[in-house]
Structure 1
Amino acid sequence: MLKRMVEMTKRYSSFFLCVILCCLAAELIGPIKLSLGKFTITFLPLLYAMIFMLILYLAKPVCGVGENYVFAASQMLSICVVFAMAKLGISSGASIKEMVSVGPILLLQNIGNIGTVLFALPIALLLGIKREAVGMSYALSREPNVALIADMYGSESDEFKGVMVCYIVGTVFGSIFMSIIPPVFIALGIFRPEAAAMAVGVGSSSMMAAGLAGVIEAAPASNPDTLTAFATISNVISSAITVYFGIFITTPLSNLIYKVMKGVKS
């Protein structure tokens, strides 16, 4: 892995320089708190870094940012996630007692996946979307979900097009959404910080990291290691369960709703 990192650094040095500069600028700005009545929204440096890189990409031509560097960005993310997971694993181990006390709640929270089918799918069909809606709404559309749809329907199917659309949208906006919405629920007193931490563990490492940072910032009185443990374990469980949930529950339910609303005969 070290050799691979050295080779990538030499080849994509301009890209890495842009990433470092955007990250430094975001860190220098620091968290920005916006008070809206009874609650406060905290904008974190992760959000600024994403916006800065987006601006550089749109402000073409900028050396080091463009379609030719997508592979480097993907590989860089994969490598960084390894270190993040190691750190999160240590934090989770330190809070193992809290994990055991939660019990089946970590498993049962994945029932929320049914909500996307019951609410998002009918809306998509009413808007005129066809079979793509099944792939778009049966789950969160992360890597395991994309693989499942490709295996069930094929990579040329309408369902696969749908899941890929949501995958791309989630990659761009998912982290932003996760960094803003959970802290709002904490500020409003709707959910406890531990519940919000579990909620951000949806099966996506990038979304979890963004959401967890917001939750920790919104709940300074809570133990950060405990919140990290809840989010990490929830993320692992969600990643593992989503495939089986999709095979046996959400995909069949999506097909049933599609047939009923479209009047398709079996």
Structure 2
Amino acid sequence: MQVLQNWKLHALALVITIIAEMIGIQRFGAVVFLPLLYALIMGLFVSIPSFKILTVETMEKSADYLGIAVMLLMVKVGLGIGPNLEILSTAGLALMLQELGHFFGTILFGLPVALLVGMRREAVGACYSVDREPNVAIIIDKFGFSSPEGRGVMGMYICGVLIGAMWASVLAGFFAQMGWFHPLALAMGAGVGSASMMAASTAPIIAVYPEYETQIAALAGAANLLTTVLGVYFGIFVSLPVMEKTYNFFTGRTREQDLAEEGQ
């Protein structure tokens, strides 16, 4: 019955999805625009209260359906783990260890900046990982969509969708031009668990080192797979607990104290 009561929400979601898929993947140089970006922008416009397309109450109820979508996402990620166990077992040590940087790097560099700009519990969700789909699912499952951590992880997820690919392209191109790192090391770093960011990163690296094109594509793809597969377990058992303890240590506060001040 609740689904029928919110039929407009589901109808809009379906229409937006169809339009986004019809536009498809668009490439502008090294920058790749995915249907997710179009859906996000269209969803932003239909949710503006002054347009009166959706009520605030309806938009708040949409968070309830996000949990269902998250469960489907985690099933999809889980189904991709089994067939790729051989790749994980044969991956080189360097490829495995570089995954640590994808997660702890966000804590070391992201948390201080988040605290300096005044973020509180939002910093936990925003800085514990690169905040792609599986990482969003972990936070929503543990803390809820409307929690401070949920706001933090969704804020970074949206930033990644909007400017992540462009930033990754510029950054990868800069380091490739500087020659500080081997092109295969740059390829490994390009696989951060996001297909769009990986594609945007590998293009300028290949442009600078065309003789390594095959190896760059293979290593970037393997690193991206490892981040997606291992990221779920690493996020749950390592990076998120470390992030919470690090936040508590630097702020001298607990989650209960922060929530009490917010009046939740």
TM-score by length of 2: 0.64
Matched, 1:247 2:241: no
Q: 1:214 to 1:158 in 2, by over 3 A?
A: same
| Pairs within 5 Å for 1:63-142 | 103-112=92-101, 113-142=103-132
Q: Quote the offset at 1:12 in angstroms.
A: 5.8
Give deviations 1:120-173, integer Å, cap 9, x for gaps: 112211221110000000000000000000111122211011000000000111
Aligned partner (choices 219, 225, 228) of residue 230 of structure 1: 219
The number of residue pairs the alignment matches comes to 198
Matched, 1:214 2:214: no
Q: How large is the RMSD of aligned CA atoms in angstroms?
A: 3.7
Q: Aligned to 2:210, what secondary structure does the other structure show?
A: coil
| Pairs within 5 Å for 1:1-266 | 16=22, 19=23, 23=26, 44=30, 46=32, 103-112=92-101, 113-222=103-212, 224-264=213-253
The CA distance in 1 between the partners of 2:249 and 2:173, in whole Å, is 38
Further displaced range: 178-187 or 108-117:
178-187
Give deviations 1:93-145, integer Å, cap 9, x for gaps: xxx9xx96x71111100111112112211221122111000000000000000
Q: Aligned to 2:119, what secondary structure does the other structure show?
A: coil
Q: Aligned to 1:191, what secondary structure does the other structure show?
A: coil
Give deviations 1:215-260, integer Å, cap 9, x for gaps: 11121222x2221110111100011111222122211121112212
The CA distance in 1 between the partners of 2:111 and 2:92, in whole Å, is 31
Q: Note if contact 2:202-2:217 (Cα within 8 Å) is conserved in structure 1.
A: yes
TM-score by length of 1: 0.64
The CA distance in 2 between the partners of 1:156 and 1:14, in whole Å, is 26
Q: Note if contact 2:32-2:199 (Cα within 8 Å) is conserved in structure 1.
A: no
Q: Aligned to 2:211, what secondary structure does the other structure show?
A: coil
* Higher relative contact order (CA closer than 8 Å, sequence separation 6+): 1
* Alignment partner, residue 76 of structure 2: none
Further displaced range: 157-166 or 243-252:
243-252
Q: Quote the offset at 1:207 in angstroms.
A: 0.9
Which runs of at least 4 in structure 1 moved beyond 6 Å after TM superposition?
none
Q: Quote the offset at 1:183 in angstroms.
A: 2.1
Give 1:166's aligned amino acid.
M
The CA distance in 1 between the partners of 2:21 and 2:133, in whole Å, is 25
Gaps of 5+ in 1: 1-7, 32-43, 61-66, 68-95
Q: 1:163 to 1:185 in 2, by over 3 A?
A: same
Q: 1:211 to 1:126 in 2, by over 3 A?
A: same
Q: 1:128 to 1:108 in 2, by over 3 A?
A: same
Give 1:103's aligned amino acid.
G
Give 2:198's aligned amino acid.
M
